[in-house]
Chain A
Amino acid sequence: MADSIDVLATLKLVYTIYALAVISIIAYFGYRITQKGEVKPTKKIIFWLYVATLIFIGTGMHFLTYNVVPWVPMDLNRDHINAEKTFDITYRAHTIIPNETPMKVPCGKYVVFDAHSDDLTYGFGIFRQNNTMVAQMQVVPGSRNDLMWIFHKNGTYNVRSTEYSGPKGSQMILQDAIVVTGCKEDDVYAMKGGE
Chain B
Amino acid sequence: MSFINRLIEGHEGGLKTETMTPMQKIAMRFVVIGLLYYGLAALEGMIMRVYEVKPLPFIDESHFFSIMTVHPMVGIFGSSYMIVFGAFLFLTPYLMNKPIYSLKLANLSWITIAGGTLIMWTAGFLFSYAPLYTLYWPLPADMSQFRAIGGIVYIVGVVGIMIGTFAYTYNIFKTIVYTPKGWEKQPSMALMKSALGITGLTNFFKRKQEAHLVPLPIAAISRGTIDVGLNAVVISTAGVLILIYLVGNGLFGMDLKDTWVDALLYKNIFWWGLDLVADGLVLVFVAGTWYLLAMLISGKDLFMQNIARAALFLEMVVSWTVWSHHLMSDQGQSNFLKVFSGEMVTAFELITQGIAVYITLVTLYRAKPLKMTNELKFLLGGILGFMLAVPAGIIQADLGMNRILHNTQWIIGNHVHVAILVGLTMTLYSAIYVLFPILTNGVKLYSQKLANIHFWLHLIGGIGMGAFMGMAGIDGMLRRTIYYNGEYNTYMILAGICGLMIFVAFLLFLYNIVMSIGIKGLIGVYQPAKINTNECLCEETKKEEA
Q: Which residues of A contact B (CB under 8 A)?
A: 4, 7-8, 11-12, 15, 18-19, 22-23, 26, 29-30, 32-37, 39, 42, 47, 50-51, 54-55, 57-59, 61-62, 65-66, 68-69, 71-72, 75-76, 93, 119-121, 123, 125, 127-128, 130-138, 140-147, 160, 162-168, 170-171
Question: Does B295 have its Cβ within 8 Å of any Cβ on chain A?
Answer: no
Contact indicator B264/A26 (Cβ below 8 Å)? no
For A32, give the chain B residue with the smallest CB separation.
B368
Q: How many A-B residue pairs have CB under 8 A?
A: 223
B-side contacts of A145, CB under 8 Å: 330-332
Q: Would you list 8 pairs from A and B whose C-beta atoms are within 8 A, ordered by A residue?
A: A11-B474, A19-B467, A30-B380, A33-B370, A66-B399, A121-B136, A125-B407, A143-B331
Min CB gap B443→A, angstroms: 26
Contact indicator B354/A132 (Cβ below 8 Å)? no
Nearest 5 pairs between A and B by C-beta?
A: A58-B347, A69-B400, A65-B400, A143-B332, A167-B62
Min CB gap B340→A, angstroms: 11
Min CB gap A104→B, angstroms: 23
With A51-B351, A141-B138, A147-B331 as contacts: A29 and B361 at CB distance below 8 Å? yes
Contact with A along B376-410 (1 / 0, CB 8 A): 11001001100110011011001111011111100
A-side contacts of B264, CB under 8 Å: 140, 142-143
B-side contacts of A72, CB under 8 Å: 399-400
Q: Give A55 to B401 CA distance when docked, in angstroms.
A: 19
Contact indicator A133/B387 (Cβ below 8 Å)? no
Q: Give A80 to B399 CA distance when docked, in angstroms.
A: 18
A-side contacts of B347, CB under 8 Å: 55, 58-59, 61-62
Question: Does B519 have its Cβ within 8 Å of any Cβ on chain A?
Answer: no
Contact indicator B263/A121 (Cβ below 8 Å)? yes
Contact indicator B366/A42 (Cβ below 8 Å)? yes
A-side contacts of B377, CB under 8 Å: 30
Interface residues of B, dominant DSSP: helix
- Which of B27-35, B101-109, B477-485 lies at the binding interface? B477-485
A-side contacts of B368, CB under 8 Å: 32-37, 39
Min CB gap A56→B, angstroms: 10
Contact with A along B234-259 (1 / 0, CB 8 A): 00000000000000000000000011
- Starting from the known contacts A34-B368, A76-B339, 8 additional A-B residue pairs (CB-CB under 8 Å) come to A7-B404, A18-B391, A39-B365, A120-B136, A140-B330, A142-B259, A142-B263, A160-B478
B-side contacts of A18, CB under 8 Å: 391
Question: Does B44 have its Cβ within 8 Å of any Cβ on chain A?
Answer: no
Contact indicator A61/B395 (Cβ below 8 Å)? yes
Min CB gap B338→A, angstroms: 9
Contact indicator A136/B387 (Cβ below 8 Å)? no
Contact indicator A141/B475 (Cβ below 8 Å)? no
